[in-house]
Amino acid sequence: MLICDLIKVVFNNHKSSYLCRMSAHKIWFSLFDLTFDYKGDELPFQSPHDFRWTKDFEVHYEDIYAELQQFLSKNNPNPYFKHLMVDKKNAYRTISLKWWDLAFRKNRKFFPITNRIMLKYPEITTLSFNFLAPGSTISPHCGDTNAIFRCHFGLKIPAPLPACGLKVKDQAFAWEEGKWVIFMDAYVHETFNSSEEERIILLLDVLRPEYKAKREWITSVVLTSLFLQKRATIFSFMYKWPQWLVNGIAILLIPFSYLTRKLANLFRIY
């Protein structure tokens, strides 16, 4: 896709998305809705049996966890950049293999089995290992778009509900080791671990099939949103920007986000 085509898509598709309330049949982005209140009609949780890739990960649960343990014997996860989401410093940490189609090849070499499974399913846009420290919570927040389903695969789950779990639209769900929890990330949700041990999951973002043709646009918008969110952790005044200013800056940055991801993957920067 050429830059001019991407800009055209951005203007044509986003005009309605940030001027009116989105329906469940249109793509919603938190970047263009600073109310951070998605009003869709999707179910909060989805059945793992409806997805073709879930069984492949389940069968290789022990292999995936073994790869992670081997990695952790010599390396440490990175604290997630949105530290204000968590009630304790560095309580939420990650190891990324893929992040909105940005490839982390330096990490992938440590996870050959996990990486092989991931590459079998192109609908996966994000894959990371996520750690939540004991006695900590991730405050209520919404995801970046309704164009994906967020998927949590339990690797080390120290306790059942009510000590450890996930809440989406006030509906609580417990993780289980070797099993999936799949939910609509755009809805306000929170996670908690009041146990005395660390919780570890494998996190996937899976593109909804009806949005397959708009993948480049979706990932570019979300990466732009994450770029601005990261800047806002340093320059807090950005949180006070009006929607029109966010829209204008985003429209300018989205093509650069697209190009940056393409170049980073081409030259294997990460």
> What is the second-level CATH architecture of the domain 45-207?
Sandwich (2.60)
Query: Which of 161, 160, 204 lies closest to 181 in space, CA to CA?
Result: 204
Show me where the domains of the chain are located: 3-40+212-266, 45-207
Give the CA distances from residue 120 to residues 49, 54, 152, 228, in Å, rounded to whole numbers and listed in that order: 18, 12, 18, 31
Tens of pLDDT, residue by residue, the chain (270 residues) = 434 444 444 444 444 333 333 344 699 999 999 999 999 999 999 999 999 999 999 999 999 999 999 999 999 999 998 888 999 999 999 999 999 999 999 999 999 999 999 999 999 999 999 999 999 999 999 999 999 999 999 999 999 999 999 999 989 999 999 999 999 999 999 999 999 999 999 999 999 999 999 999 999 999 999 999 999 999 999 999 999 999 999 999 999 999 999 999 999 999
What is the model's pTM?
A: 0.90
Dihedral angle of Cα 204, 208, 212, 213, to the nearest 10 degrees: -130
Question: At what angle are helices 215-232 and 3-19 packed, to 10 degrees?
Answer: 70
Give me the phi and psi of 211, to 5 degrees please. -110, 15
Residue 103, H or E segment: strand 102-103
